[in-house]
């Protein structure tokens, strides 16, 4: 029986476990990336592990999230990361170099390599044929130290692409169609693998748009084959030496299969407040808008912005619309400036933002009250934009640009042929090399006053009795748990300070109530913890005394982050039991001393005199980590 591309890469990197679907495996990680919103904590954890030098083939620290410097905090984090990268052997992508996933695709990503990053959109590199995973910072720190990355052996979904995109339809519409088919929960425990004749019609940047938003499916990763289009892209980046042809076997067997005819797709939009709330743009045509934001790690490539420039050339943005454009990298911005496209964008009335994440993470450009904002981003969760009442839609660059001129939703219907450059402008002067190993001891780590030690849990007790501090519903995102935005992101290296904002978007009194209680439970519904990989969504609850989270189901990365920090991730055996528990009920868990042999635990509701069966669906290794009080404690014991 033939192998999928996913299976081939996993088997070539397997160092622990058996590759049986649903079982835990450990794989060798070739490369890592971090960004500054998660990087400070990852490097503090790497320091705590006591490893003097990274052991990966390549690790890169990017500055792209916290670039709005309204106080000393972000600049201090950058100084810390710069010095840590210099000392520990990482490349350092300076502010202005660009968004981590865009720069990685341009300058570093290679077919067949494994990559983990402390950002949920790390699978963007799947567009070039890398097997890439979003993870918590602690998992990245372990990988940098040479440790295996543990995942559940995934099921593989084969999506066959046929045909060619019609005028006005783009790669963004392809992934929105996949989200319509599978939903935000449809990729959990799976890798999405693309194949078929339609693949050859998509360039690497277009493929990267699709793999980027695989994160919104809850997928473990997404991947395209490495073919002649991949070789062309690498050659244009003067990296042809990195090319390797990679395909699934012709007789590969997939766990699920779908077919999408690209020629039948129409422009689509993800409506508020979920990436899978999909409607054709034609159904929204004429609806007035207030803001358009073009950019993010999803849609800020050279091809994307050249298309936008072609649409805007000679036109003016509608009076009722504020249009911003964020080039994805210095390379993209430089080339647009050199060929005149940037001038066309500016002349139309766009506001040019720096090459960074910016509005996508709520770092500026919050819409007006009740404003309708069209964004080429990947997430439209309620309040993520910085304005809770805003109505945020996710669309393609083509739809965004047409609509910005019209002042309302407009259906793009014109093809703009954007030739791929024979060679991109190559200038890596904003990527700083580390000190040599011989000189590493001379590098001093820079620590500003906002950089605090991360919290470490204690070993798991034999029993826990505590109140339900918070009960929430379905599809709680990491933005709900640990909000982003310009006011909160600068506190990422200060867990005591950032914990004051934990869950405040849901319940402003949660931090005060949790601290008063000393310890407690959180109860939630379906798909708890979807969205960003932000480890702070586990670290802040840990600091506030949360001992267990009991839900109907978890999103993958957040569940692992809870395990890594010693918080019990429990799931109701009977989903109806969720309704029986009220906030402030007192719950009791016994039998935790023999956790390694337990598959199902009994959760007692002391207040109501009831019991519920809850599963602890983690591997034997995961249970040992929980017993130790977290991954860092576990590593310290086993080392």
Catalytic residue positions, numbered: 64-65, 119, 379, 532, 534
Classify burial at 435, counting beta carbons within 10 Å of its beta carbon; exposed 0-12, middle 13-18, buried 19 or more: middle
146: left (phi over 0), alpha (psi -120 to 50) or beta: left
Contact 522, 468 (CB under 8 A): yes
Contact 392, 367 (CB under 8 A): yes
> Which three-class secondary structure string do you get for 232-267?
HHHHHCCCHHHCCCECCCCCECCCEEEEEEHHHCCC
> Which three-class secondary structure string do you get for 343-363?
HHHHHCCCEECCCCCHHHHCC
Classify burial at 474, counting beta carbons within 10 Å of its beta carbon; exposed 0-12, middle 13-18, buried 19 or more: middle
Residue 149's DSSP bridge partners are 27
Pull the structure tokens for residue 300.
Answer: 């800020």
Give the whole-angstrom CA distance, residue 325 versus residue 323.
7
* Residue among 123, 148, 124 nearest 134 (CA): 123
Pull the structure tokens for residue 145.
Answer: 């130290």
For residue 456, which phi and psi values (nearest 5 degrees)?
Answer: -115, 135
Q: What is the DSSP letter of 69?
A: -
Maximum CA extent, the chain: 72
For residue 129, which phi and psi values (nearest 5 degrees)?
Answer: 95, 15
* Residue among 177, 174, 399 nearest 285 (CA): 399
């Amino acid at each position: 029986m033939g192998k999928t591309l996913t299976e081939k890469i996993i088997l070539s990197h397997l160092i622990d476990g058996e590759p049986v679907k649903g079982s835990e495996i450990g794989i060798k990680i070739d490369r890592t990336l971090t960004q500054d919103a998660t990087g400070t904590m990852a490097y503090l954890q790497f320091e705590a592990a006591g490893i003097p030098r990274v052991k990966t083939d390549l690790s890169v620290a990017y500055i792209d999230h916290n670039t709005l410097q309204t106080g000393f905090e972000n600049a201090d984090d950058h100084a810390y990361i710069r010095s840590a990268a210099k000392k520990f052997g990482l490349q350092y992508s300076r502010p202005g170099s660009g968004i981590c996933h865009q720069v990685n695709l341009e300058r570093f990503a290679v077919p067949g390599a494994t990559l983990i990053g402390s950002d949920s959109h790390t699978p963007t590199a799947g567009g070039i044929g890398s097997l890439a995973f979003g993870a918590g910072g602690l998992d990245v720190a372990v990988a940098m130290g040479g440790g295996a990355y543990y995942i559940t052996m995934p099921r593989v979904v084969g999506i066959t692409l046929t045909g060619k995109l019609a005028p006005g339809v783009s790669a963004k519409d392809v992934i929105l169609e996949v989200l319509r088919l599978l939903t935000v929960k449809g990729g959990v425990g799976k890798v999405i693998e693309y194949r078929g004749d339609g693949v050859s019609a998509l360039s690497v940047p277009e493929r990267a748009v699709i793999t980027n938003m695989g994160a919104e499916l809850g997928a473990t990763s997404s991947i395209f084959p490495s073919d002649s289009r991949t070789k062309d892209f690498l050659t244009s980046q003067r990296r042809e030496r990195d090319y390797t042809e990679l395909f699934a076997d012709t007789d590969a067997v997939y766990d699920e299969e779908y077919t999408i005819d690209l020629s039948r797709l129409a422009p689509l939009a993800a409506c508020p407040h979920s990436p899978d709330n999909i409607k054709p743009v034609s159904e929204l045509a004429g609806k007035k808008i207030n803001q358009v934001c073009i950019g993010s790690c999803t849609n800020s490539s050279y091809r994307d912005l050249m298309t936008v420039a072609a649409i805007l050339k000679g036109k003016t943005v509608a009076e009722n619309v504020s249009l911003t454009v964020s080039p994805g990298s210095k390379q993209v911005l430089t080339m647009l400036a050199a060929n005149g496209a940037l001038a066309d964008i500016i002349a139309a009335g766009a506001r040019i933002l720096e090459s960074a994440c910016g509005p996508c993470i709520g770092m500026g450009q919050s819409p007006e009250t009740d404003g309708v904002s069209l964004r080429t981003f990947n997430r439209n969760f309620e309040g993520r934009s910085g304005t809770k009442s805003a109505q945020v839609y996710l669309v393609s660059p083509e739809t965004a640009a047409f609509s910005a001129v019209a002042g309302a939703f407009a259906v793009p219907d014109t093809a703009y042929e954007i030739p791929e450059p024979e060679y991109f402008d190559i200038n890596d002067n904003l990527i700083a090399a580390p000190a040599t190993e011989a000189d590493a001891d001379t590098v001093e780590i820079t620590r500003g006053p906002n950089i605090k030690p991360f919290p470490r849990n204690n070993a798991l007790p034999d029993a826990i009795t505590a109140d339900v501090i918070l009960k929430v519903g379905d599809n709680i995102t990491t933005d709900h748990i640990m909000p982003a935005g310009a006011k909160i992101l600068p506190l990422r290296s200060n867990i005591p300070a950032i914990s004051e904002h934990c869950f405040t978007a849901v319940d402003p009194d949660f931090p005060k109530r949790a601290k008063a209680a000393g310890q407690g439970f959180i109860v939630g519904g379906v798909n708890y913890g979807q969205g960003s990989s932000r480890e702070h969504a586990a670290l802040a609850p840990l600091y506030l005394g949360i001992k267990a989270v009991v839900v109907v189901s978890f999103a993958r990365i957040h569940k692992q982050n809870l395990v890594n920090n010693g918080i019990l991730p429990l799931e109701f055996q009977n989903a109806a039991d969720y309704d029986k528990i009220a906030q402030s009920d007192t719950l009791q868990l016994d039998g935790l001393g023999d956790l390694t042999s337990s598959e199902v635990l009994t959760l007692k509701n002391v207040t109501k005199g009831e019991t519920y069966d809850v599963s602890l669906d983690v591997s034997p290794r995961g249970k040992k980590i929980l017993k130790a009080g977290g991954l860092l404690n576990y590593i310290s014991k086993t080392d």
